[in-house]
Amino acid sequence: MKKNLCLNIIVLLFPLCANSQSVDSLSLYQSAITFISADLDILQKEVAVSGIAYDLDCFMFIDSVKNSSLEEILHEKQDKPTPDVYSSILDRNFNKLSPQTEYSIFFSRIKDGFFLAQVYRLQEYGKSVNYESVINTALQQYYYMFVLNQEQKIKKVFRMKID
């Protein structure tokens, strides 16, 4: 009887937990887009977001977090790549390509207290959210690292512009 009760509680609470994680991820990605839009002085309607969470490079931020616990995590992430995965949160909740699209954003998964974003200013004729084609044809590139606090809110942001 106790075993069935525990199983029922787990079955009932799992969707609530999964949903709260989705809401947290959604709000973090939304906060990141708001920050990026303000930082680059662009309108959010000019931004298309890929529906895939990519295993983005973080090596360029390692010097920015020297002598912190995040340095070891970034080294470990670089040494152990993970596959890119479809994200229903990214795919369903953010802009796709449109005539107003000027930038494509590619996010990483939110993991180990941080997540990454790569922002590409697109050429007029080659608008895409296909990572491979965008990285080779973009006019400008911006890399962001969003560091989270204990409450899973954005605590600090690092940015690099690549020309």
Residue-wise pLDDT tens digits, 72-120: 999 998 888 889 999 999 999 998 888 888 999 999 999 999 999 999 9
> What are the residue boundaries of the structural domains of the chain, listed by start?
2-162
Neighbour-count burial of 10, counting CB atoms closer than 10 A to its CB (0-12 exposed, 13-18 middle, 19+ buried): exposed
Bridge-based pairing state of the strands 140-148 and 103-108: unpaired
Poorest-pLDDT segment among 11-25, 26-40, 94-108, 137-151:
11-25
Give the model's pLDDT for residue 1. Answer: 59
Q: Considering the entire predicted model, what is its pTM?
A: 0.82
Q: What is the mean pLDDT of the chain?
A: 84
Average pLDDT over residues 61-70: 90
Sequence-distant (≥ 6) Cβ neighbours of residue 98 within 8 angstroms: 45, 48
Give the model's pLDDT for residue 126. Answer: 62
Rounded CA-CA distance 42/84 in Å is: 27
Bridge-based pairing state of the strands 140-148 and 114-121: antiparallel
Q: Contact 145/157 with Cβ under 8 angstroms? A: yes
